[in-house]
Amino acid sequence: MTATVLNKRPAYQGAIPTVLFIAAIVLSTLSLQIETGSLNPIAILDLAFASGTQTLLLTHGWVPRFVIALVAGAGLATAGALFQHTLKNPLASPSTLGLAGGAKLFLTLTTLYMPGALEIGQDIIALLGALAVGALVFALARRSGFSPLVVILTGMIIALYCGAVTTALAIIHHEWLKSLFIWGSGDLTQDGWYILGPLTIKIAFGMIIAIILARPLEMLNLNDHQATALGASPARLRMLCLLIGCWLTAVTIAAVGIVGFVGLAGPAITRMIGIRRLRHKLIASALFGALLLCAADQGVQVLSGHLGTLVPAGALTGVFGGPLLIILIRQLRANSPPSRSTTAIPTKDRSLRQSRMILGTCVLLAIAGAIFIGRDVNGFWQLQWTNDLQTVWPWRGPRILGAIAAGTMLAIAGTVLQRMTANPMASPESLGVSAGAAIGMIAIIFAIDAPSTWLQISGATIGAFVTLVAIFVLTRKSGYAPERILIAGIAIGALFDGFIAFLMAGGDPRAARLLAWSSGSTYGLGFDRATILAIVAVTALPILPALARWLNLFPLGPITTKSMGVDLSVSRGSMLLFAAILTAAATLLVGPLSFAGLIAPHLARLAGFRHALSHSIGAAFIGAALMVSADWLGRMLFFPWEIPAGLMAAIIAGPVLVWLLMRIGQTSS
């Protein structure tokens, strides 16, 4: 089940660790020279035992920073290796379970509403947050015997949810959270040994347990029946493995902040050079993780002197990690797709006609509510009619129209992608097109002093187009294999996250605005753009019946589909293009608000829409209703403050998805 290595180019594969090692040494030497002003070992030793500011900065700044990069990198990479082993997914990483999101949410809430509690220490609050999320994932996944699919989905949704709440708060209380943005971008600057000491003990503890238990944990490589036949309990083994991984992740995040990519790359390099035994894998992953983070952090120190702004290592690993991920994963071939949506989702015994009626009523109610219920000038709730409505209509109307259109398009794109990839985690965001659009927009915002809306849209269009071409080029050879597409999307998403973390840490005021846009806002939408959006959405509908046959076959797996006479490349390529255009159009006008695209297909299926065509149209209605209500709540709940619709959709729909998952868990156990 685990991904295997193509041992075609051993020389090339052996080169990566060597290059990594050399890079770490060269960059460390450079930064040591910058720090001490010389490279003569005797002079450096003299300086280390002298007294004065320079010595202090060396012995209590540079040295602990060097060591903490190694320790944190090793901890994260070991955790990543454990998660990948347990979840049988080469894309699993310490961020899969959403621990970092939980830590950040706890810190944000404490900073804003209980600043006194920060006295017990930022690291303790972060640790509590991470462990709380870990406990929640465990509670939800326990019933399914820690089935990898349920763990991944639960973790992903909780991560999304925590991220949505945190971002919503960050938009409103931007100034108060400045220091948190630095924590969130993973800067490793040290001012003494007091963080490093306890961290080393905690990480060593976790790693030693993992290495001791590596032999029994190896059983997870077997399938559950084989493992049970050998007398092991797969559920218990998985729990143990996840528990150690969570501990390593939580203590590292608490101490140094969010450093994402290392936990994915360390184990990936290990797999590339062909290490098979779990114990060796863990040790090698720790080594590569340590080298990676060390090289990145030393590089940051060399770089930041020239840039005049803080370059946190965590953000940098995201920016460089994205492209690296694509290169690394090209070497891998998963024997089975990471997860399949073959898990049956139970549906209530209710006729389709009834579902359709309920759904139609919901959509109409949502639209009517969004149109007529508002707040008056003093903030009091009001049923707005005639004059009151006329005043706000030019600002409210386009947003409602835009939300309906965007919700529809994203839900259709999501349904197509989930069916095509047979992966319930697929969403319009996982295409990477929205992240590409966002990067294009960032480029425009930062290149030009005060760009107009249309200029920003052009930037985003170019970004989306370039990304789309890149995805097609990168996945063409594999016949647009779903795993490749999702990986490319994740990589581009990581790149974008890195950029945002970097901007937020630097404290640039433009970052807050970008944050609001990137969470999917219909703010400032005029009837001109909303109508374009509506036209694209309406145009998409008649294309659906043409895709219906493919969409019905694809969830059965590529072999079945092929045996029914479908050309995989052509069909995947066209569906990819269709989904990408819908996503891009929605993203360009209202931001990358894709949560509706993730959840609407699930809800539609739950409501009983099984056939591809009815599934996608049901999802479209649910997406529209969700986005309209989210947009309305976002505008009205904290009036005059606004929460972007994309975030609000995540906040409303997150609990629904978790409830849905618990039902999956119940039936599959």
Partner 1 sequence: MHKPIHLYSRRSFLRLVTQASIISGCGYALSGLMAETTSAAVPKRIVIADGAISETALAMGIVPLAMADIPGYQAWVQQPAVPNRVINLGARFQPSLERLAQLKPDLILTSSFYANQYASLRDLAPIEKIDIYSSSKTPFLNAVTAARKIGDVTGHPNAADRLVAETAARIEHAARQLSTPKARSVLITSMLSPRHMRVFGQNSLMQDVIAQLPIQNAWTGPTNHWGFATVSIDQIAQYSDAAMIAIEPVPDNVERAISYSPILSELPPIKRFGLIKMPPVATFGGLFAAGRFADLLASSLSDIAPGNDEVAP
Residue corresponding to tokens 């999304």: 160
CB of 439 to partner 1, least distance (A): 19
CB of 318 to partner 1, least distance (A): 18
Query: Which residues, at least 6 apart from 178, have a Cβ–Cβ distance to it below 8 Å?
Result: 507
DSSP 345: P
Q: Which stretch binds partner 1 (CB under 8 A): 132-140, 153-161, 189-197, 230-238?
A: 189-197
Answer yes or no whether residue 112 interacts with partner 1 by CB under 8 A. no
Would you call 43 helix, strand, or coil by DSSP?
Answer: helix
Task: Using CB under 8 A, count the residues that bind partner 1.
Answer: 81
Answer yes or no whether residue 204 interacts with partner 1 by CB under 8 A. no
Q: What is the DSSP string of 573-593?
A: HHHHHHHHHHHHHHHHHH-S-
Q: Which stretch binds partner 1 (CB under 8 A): 262-270, 325-333, 508-516, 560-568?
A: 508-516
- CB closer to partner 1, 231 vs 308: 308
- The candidate with the shortest Cα–Cα distance to 641, out of 172, 251, 294, 276, is 172
* Displacement of CA 368 from its chain's centroid (Å): 34
Cβ(2)–Cβ(272) below 8 Å: no
DSSP-derived pairing of the beta strands 381-383 and 4-5: unpaired
Q: Which residues between 343 and 382 bind partner 1 (CB under 8 A)?
A: 352, 356, 374-377
Residue corresponding to tokens 């763990």: 151
- CB closer to partner 1, 26 vs 57: 57
Answer yes or no whether residue 198 interacts with partner 1 by CB under 8 A. no
Cβ(113)–Cβ(169) below 8 Å: no
Which run of H or E residues covers position 5? strand 4-5
Answer yes or no whether residue 307 interacts with partner 1 by CB under 8 A. yes
CB of 393 to partner 1, least distance (A): 5
- CB closer to partner 1, 189 vs 574: 189
Q: Which residues between 156 and 185 bind partner 1 (CB under 8 A)?
A: 171-172, 174-176, 178-179, 182-183
Query: Which residues, at least 6 apart from 167, have a Cβ–Cβ distance to it below 8 Å?
Result: 515, 519, 647
Would you call 346 helix, strand, or coil by DSSP?
Answer: coil
Angle between helices 196-212 and 278-307 (to 10 degrees): 150
Contacts with partner 1, 114-143, as mask; x by CB under 8 A: -x--xx--x---------------------
Contacts with partner 1, 43-62, as mask; x by CB under 8 A: ----------x--xx--xx-
Binder to partner 1 among 214, 217, 512, 626 (CB under 8 A)?
Answer: 512
- CB closer to partner 1, 130 vs 311: 311
Contacts with partner 1, 396-435, as mask; x by CB under 8 A: xxx--x----------------------------------
For residue 101, CA distances in Å to 94, 259, 267, 423 come to 11, 12, 22, 23
- CB closer to partner 1, 87 vs 630: 630
In the numeric block, which tokens belong to residue 38? 């010389």
Contacts with partner 1, 453-472, as mask; x by CB under 8 A: x-------------------
Contacts with partner 1, 579-618, as mask; x by CB under 8 A: ------------------------------xxx-xx--x-
Residue 351 zone, left/alpha/beta (φ > 0; ψ -120 to 50; rest): beta
Binder to partner 1 among 135, 139, 473, 538 (CB under 8 A)?
Answer: 538
- CB closer to partner 1, 476 vs 510: 510
Answer yes or no whether residue 209 interacts with partner 1 by CB under 8 A. no
In the numeric block, which tokens belong to residue 375? 């707040």
Residue corresponding to tokens 């996982």: 430
Answer yes or no whether residue 297 interacts with partner 1 by CB under 8 A. no
Strands of 184-291 (E only): list them. none
In the numeric block, which tokens belong to residue 656? 């629904």
Answer yes or no whether residue 108 interacts with partner 1 by CB under 8 A. no
